[in-house]
């Protein structure tokens, strides 16, 4: 994408993030969460993640937000303090144009700079495009949890993929 740029999200981006995220929540099994997020919830998430030292980024094409990415600790507790899990979502017209790769590289760089060791991708088992995307960027499949997700009256597998970050 020739006019693609990244920047740290601000609470003012929450409505644009919601416009991307809520159709994914409502209409797909990319996430098992069935409850749409309000702009106020997203604004609070942006502030909280950044306050915790984690990235919350938006990708823009000109003035339009076309995607977002963030990470947070994979599981609670001090023993997981260096293991992060990311989220990346793009508007439909931005998919397949390189924005996801740029966002993921920026998240990995941020996490590595913050001395995190592992980045986890938790992907719906039927989302073959996301599995291939992560594999192409160095993520290894480390587990499959059959039928742990429930959405649209059907159970879904969860594929866990990870990438060792290490020092830059």
Count CB atoms within 10 A of the CB of residue 107.
23
CB-neighbour burial class of residue 112 (10 A; exposed 0-12, middle 13-18, buried 19+): middle
Q: Collect the ranges in the chain with pLDDT lower than 70.
A: 1-2, 167-168
pLDDT the model gives residue 166: 79
Query: What are the residue ranges spanned by the domains of the chain?
Result: 4-75+82-164
- CA angle at residue 88 from 155 to 136, to 5 degrees? 90
Query: Global pTM?
Result: 0.94
Q: Does domain 4-75+82-164 have CATH number 1.10.287.180?
A: no
pLDDT value, residue 1? 58
d(CA 48, CA 8): 13
- What was the pLDDT predicted at 167? 60
């Amino acid at each position: 994408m020739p006019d693609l740029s990244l920047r740290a999200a601000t609470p003012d981006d929450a409505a644009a993030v919601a416009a991307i995220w809520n159709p994914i929540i409502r209409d797909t099994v990319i996430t098992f969460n069935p409850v749409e997020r309000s702009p106020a919830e997203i604004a609070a998430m942006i502030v909280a993640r950044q306050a915790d030292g984690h990235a919350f980024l938006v990708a823009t094409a000109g003035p339009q937000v076309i995607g977002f990415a963030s990470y947070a600790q994979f599981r609670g507790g001090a023993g997981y303090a260096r293991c992060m899990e990311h989220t990346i979502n793009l508007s439909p017209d931005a998919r397949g144009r390189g924005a996801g790769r740029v966002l993921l590289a920026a998240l990995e760089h941020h996490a590595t700079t913050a001395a995190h060791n592992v980045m986890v991708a938790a992907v719906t088992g039927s989302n073959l495009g996301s599995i291939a995307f992560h594999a192409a960027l160095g993520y290894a499949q480390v587990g499959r949890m059959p039928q742990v997700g429930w959405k649209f009256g059907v159970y879904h597998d969860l594929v866990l993929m990870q990438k060792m970050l290490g020092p830059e």
